[in-house]
Amino acid sequence: MENETNNNITEEEQTGLRPAEDETRVITEETEITEITGITGETPAEGVSDGEEKAKKPPALVGYEWLESFALALSVMVLIFLFAFKYVTVDGSSMNDTLYDGERLIITSFGDLKTGDIVVLCEPGNDKPLVKRVIATGGQTVHMDFENWKVYVNGIELDEPYVRRIAGTTMKRDAYSGDITVPEGYVFVMGDNRNHSTDSRHFGCVDERAVLGRVIFRITPFSKFGAVD
C-alpha cells in the first residue's frame, strides 16, 4: 500500500534499516513458509485500512477513477439505447390528430403489446414502416359500427377520444367484411385518422414479429416534447 510504504521509508531512513520494499518481501516470504511448515511466525504489523487509503488518495487519482466510472456507465447506457430503442420520423397523415407528418419519435421493442398502444410496423407485403394504433391483440374479437364510428373489442366499446371523426360521413369500411377474431401472436391495428388510413381493415391482422416497436416518446416538435398517448 502506497501510503504505508512512504511512512516506512521515512522511519527507516532515520534508523538506517533496509528499504521498506525488502521488508515487505521478506515478511511475505516468511508468511508463506509459515503456511507450509506450520511454524508460527511473527505477525506483521497492521497496515492502513482500505478506507484510510482511499481517503488519502491524491485528488487527481480520485478524479481519474470517477471519470473512468462515468465513461463506463455512459458506454453501457449508449449500448442499451442502441439495442432497446429506435428513432423514427412520422410520414403521412393517418395518425392525425395524435401524430403529424415530420414528427420525430422514440420507439422501444420492450414490453407486451396491448390495446391503445401506438406502434411502428411493417405492412404485410411492404417493407415501408407504418405508424398505427393497436385495437386488439391475440384472442380478442373486433366488431365495428361504421355508422356511429364505434369500435368494440370482446363486446366492449373502446373509449377513443383520439379518433378524427368526420361529421356527416360514415367510418371507412375498406375490405372489412365482419367481426374478426385476432389470431394468437397477431394484432389488429388502425390509424386515428380513420378515413385516411390504410390499416387492418385493408391488409388484415399483423404478425407481432412485424412490429418494430411501441412509441413511447415524441422528440420534436419541442412544443410537444414528451410521452405519447
Residue 11 has pLDDT above 80, yes or no: no
Task: Estimate the crossing angle of helix 2-15 against helix 20-37, to 10 degrees.
Answer: 110
Q: Which residues contact 151 (CB under 8 A, 6 or more apart)?
A: 135, 142, 143, 144, 145, 157, 158, 160, 190
Q: Is 188 exposed, middle or buried (0-12, 13-18, 19+ CB in 10 A)?
A: buried
| Average pLDDT score, the chain | 80
* Residue 193 CB coordination number (10 Å): 20
- pLDDT tens for 112-151 read 999 999 999 998 888 789 999 999 999 999 999 999 999 9
Is 94 among the residues known to form the active site?
A: yes
8 A C-beta contact, residue 221 and residue 103: yes
pLDDT score at 49: 52
3-state class of 158 per DSSP?
coil
* Residue 70 CB coordination number (10 Å): 10
Task: Say whether the peptide bond before residue 124 is cis (omega within 30 degrees of 0).
Answer: no
Residues of the chain with CATH 2.10.109.10: 85-227
pLDDT score at 87: 87
Query: Taking Cα atoms as reference points, which of 138, 140, 118, 123 lies closest to residue 191?
Result: 118
pLDDT score at 44: 46
Sheet holding 180-181, edge to edge: 156-157, 150-153, 141-145, 180-181
Among 54, 132, 172, 224, the active-site one is: 132
Evaluate if pTM is beyond 0.75.
no
Topology adopted by domain 85-227: Umud Fragment, subunit A (2.10.109)
Is 132 among the residues known to form the active site?
A: yes
Following DSSP, what letter does each residue of 14-58 receive, concatenated?
HHT---HHHHHHHHHHHHHHHHHH----PPPPP---HHHHHHTS-
Q: Is the model more confident about 127 or about 214?
A: 214
Q: ∠ CA(36), CA(38), CA(43), 5° rounding? A: 100
- The continuous run of DSSP H or E covering 74 comes out as helix 59-84
Among 56, 57, 94, 197, the active-site one is: 94
Q: Which of 14-18, 163-167, 218-222 has the lowest mean pLDDT?
A: 14-18
